[in-house]
Every structure is written in C-alpha cells, then in structure tokens.
Amino acid sequence: MAQSAVERLKPFGKTITDAVDHFVAHVKASERSCTVEQLRAELLEAKESKGVSRRHLDDLRQRAGRFAASFGERIVSTISAREIEEWLDSLNIGP
C-alpha cells in the first residue's frame, strides 16, 4: 500500500507524510465544523436573541432554509465556494 501511495503521489511532488498531514488537517477542520442545518439553527437563535425584527427573522429563516434544503446535512467546512456559486446560479434570480 505504501509503495502504491508513493507512486500515486510522485507526479505531484508529494510524500506520504504530506498526504497524511493534509488528511489530518482536513479531519480536524471537519470535526470543528457542523452541518448546514445546525449552523442555520444557531444563526436564527442568535439573531432572535439579539431582538432583530420579526420581518428580518422571517426573511432570514426563508433564505437560510432554502440553502439548508440543498446542503442541510453537509458539513459546512466541506462545501466549496464553487458549489455555493453553482447553487446561487441555479436559483435563476436577478442580482
């Protein structure tokens, strides 16, 4: 397995240690993150506790809910800017 990994990494000029370091950093970041649905709930709770207007809260609930409907169970740190851009483009709404 190790030799196969060395061969697969060779074209990139990387080592098994580089790959393991990258993977460990990725796992640690994922563990510090949460799902989109959890983040949506925390955001709404924070805004509500700050006393934002009902209209603002309803608007935020609707917009964040739409995002969570698509990405709800995903870990926030695993969603790329490109994915968000593609999702926004798919909404077919104006600027």
Q: Is pLDDT at 8 greater than 90 in this prediction?
A: yes
Q: Is pLDDT at 26 greater than 90 in this prediction?
A: no
64 band by pLDDT with thresholds 50, 70 and 90: very high
Task: Report the C-alpha dihedral over residues 60, 65, 70, 75, rounded to 10 degrees.
Answer: 80
pLDDT the model gives residue 38: 94
32 band by pLDDT with thresholds 50, 70 and 90: confident
92 band by pLDDT with thresholds 50, 70 and 90: confident
